[in-house]
Amino acid sequence: MSPKIKLENFIAPKGMQDVMPSDCLYWDYIFSAVDKLGKTYGFNRIETPILEDSRLFSRSIGENTDIVEKEMYNLTTKGGDKLSLRPEGTAGVIRAYINSGMANWSQPVKLFYTGPMFRYDRPQAGRQRQFTQAGFEIIGSMDPIFDAQMIQLVYSIFKKIKLKNIVININSIGDAKCRGKYKTALVDYYKSRANKLCPDCRRRLSKNPLRILDCKEEKCSAMREFAPQIVDYLCVECHNHFKSVLEYLDEINIPYILNPYLVRGLDYYTKTVFEIVVEGGNKRQLSLGGGGRYDDLVEILGGAPTPAIGVALGIERIADQLKASHVALVKNSSAKVFIVQLGDKAKKKSFKLFNDLLEAGIPAAESFGRGSIKSQLRVANRLQVRIVLIIGQKESLDGTVILRDMESGMQEIIDSLKIIKEVKKRMKNGN
């Protein structure tokens, strides 16, 4: 016995996971709903590069956000370009909108995409460094009806995949002007009470005051009861916009929760913001996706002023949720026929037969690597295939095939020229 030498094992990078075949069942299920409903609602698919100019993100998401400051994967190319792995999808889509002159298309332009996003943070439940989003964007209209349509679309996706207990949280954070006024009022309110805030919130006070509203610390959330509310600071336009969005949602009976404390992490949001939330374990709300209006973003990235709204869904989180809620998906073992071969000559014949079956549109399976009839039948049984075709020495010489019905155990010898026809006939009757 030679000593076993254990080589260093490679493991996947931190926060990056293999999506195993059993998970892909759920992924395919989600993606097919995304694709189907997206197209139904008039969205066209677009895929943008995973790497973009770093500045695209710093300018859109916000220079001072955590995402840009500490969570981006940055790299410099051999040519000296500074690129980043995309931490979200909207910036790239808007870049494409501007680059490709989509402003000249019929407005609004409706686009959707799917793909991996990257953020360098500590992994935990429902959060990976590489994660996958499906996103939708409606670019080129400020009509509140599209805010509602966006929510209608994601709501219908969740309905289609049969995920229950979905709640839409919605709020308006106003435009740059009214949000500015609100922020000032909020900071004023908390500043005088800063000593009662948790350390994190004291930091938020200067950096990201809106987040104080979201704090889970009891003393902080208690204080927000008397804090100024954003709705009272919305300008007439923002207020009316928000009101119409809610009216449209009422019109189509989409249940939502007005959450005055909902704020979102990216700087570019204006007016409507929303989150798709599910009640997780220990009563915590888990966000499966979120979005909002970003009326200034196109201009910020160098295009003509163009209002827009978008949403992104977290595929891993949705897949986890589907599993947890016991939405059962079964692997459809598609093979209807299994080929068993014995001996070299039969192996060659069965290789040809396999090809003929597939060309005839009959899903077939094999275990060519195995030699004994027993082990092959065992595999056939495991695959739950109804019809097994056996070619041994004798049959390969006679030009015949044994057709075995696995349920009844009945066998027939059939001329190999007629076997395709015979199998087709049985598949028709069998099911």
> Which residues of this protein are in contact with RNA, per CB under 7 A?
4, 6, 11, 14, 17, 65-67, 71, 88, 119, 121-129, 131, 133, 200, 204, 208, 211, 214-216, 264-266, 275, 287-290, 312-314, 316-317, 342, 370, 372-375, 377-378, 380-382, 390, 392-395, 402, 404, 406-407, 409, 411
| Nearer Cβ to RNA (6/78) | 6
Q: Shortest Cβ distance from residue 361 to RNA (Å)?
A: 24
Q: Who contacts 181 (Cβ-Cβ below 8 Å, separation ≥6)?
A: 233
| Nearer Cβ to RNA (148/262) | 262
Q: Shortest Cβ distance from residue 301 to RNA (Å)?
A: 17
Distance CA 275, CA 280 (A): 14
Q: Shortest Cβ distance from residue 400 to RNA (Å)?
A: 9
| Nearer Cβ to RNA (359/407) | 407
| Nearer Cβ to RNA (134/298) | 134
Residue 231 · residue 182 · CB < 8 Å? no
Residue 366 · residue 428 · CB < 8 Å? no
Q: Shortest Cβ distance from residue 277 to RNA (Å)?
A: 8
* Closest alpha carbon to 321 in 1, 23, 88: 23
Q: Who contacts 73 (Cβ-Cβ below 8 Å, separation ≥6)?
A: 84, 85, 118, 120
| Nearer Cβ to RNA (241/264) | 264
Beta strands, E only, 254-327: 256-258, 270-279, 285-293, 308-314
| Nearer Cβ to RNA (150/390) | 390
Q: Who contacts 273 (Cβ-Cβ below 8 Å, separation ≥6)?
A: 170, 171, 172, 173, 262, 263, 264, 290, 291, 292, 293
Q: Who contacts 314 (Cβ-Cβ below 8 Å, separation ≥6)?
A: 126, 131, 132, 133, 287, 288, 289
| Nearer Cβ to RNA (109/277) | 277
| Nearer Cβ to RNA (65/84) | 65
- Rg of the chain over Cα atoms, rounded to whole angstroms, equals 29
| Nearer Cβ to RNA (204/241) | 204
CA dist 32 to 102, 151, 321, Å? 26, 18, 17
Q: Shortest Cβ distance from residue 412 to RNA (Å)?
A: 10
Q: Shortest Cβ distance from residue 271 to RNA (Å)?
A: 16
| Nearer Cβ to RNA (298/318) | 318
100 Cα distance to chain centroid = 26
Eight-class DSSP state of 217? S
| Alpha-carbon dihedral sign for residues 12, 15, 19, 23 | positive
**Which conformational region is residue 126 in: left (phi greater than 0), alpha (psi within -120 to 50 degrees), or beta?**
left
Distance CA 108, CA 210 (A): 31
The helix (H) or strand (E) run that includes residue 151 is helix 144-160
What is the residue-wise DSSP string for 45-92?
E----SEEEHHHHHHHH-TTSHHHHHS--EEE-TT--EEEE-SSSHHH
Q: Shortest Cβ distance from residue 106 to RNA (Å)?
A: 29
Sheet containing 387-391: order of strands? 364-366, 337-341, 387-391, 400-405, 411-415
Q: Shortest Cβ distance from residue 407 to RNA (Å)?
A: 6
Residue 368 · residue 347 · CB < 8 Å? yes
| Nearer Cβ to RNA (142/205) | 205
| Nearer Cβ to RNA (109/117) | 117
Eight-class DSSP state of 336? -
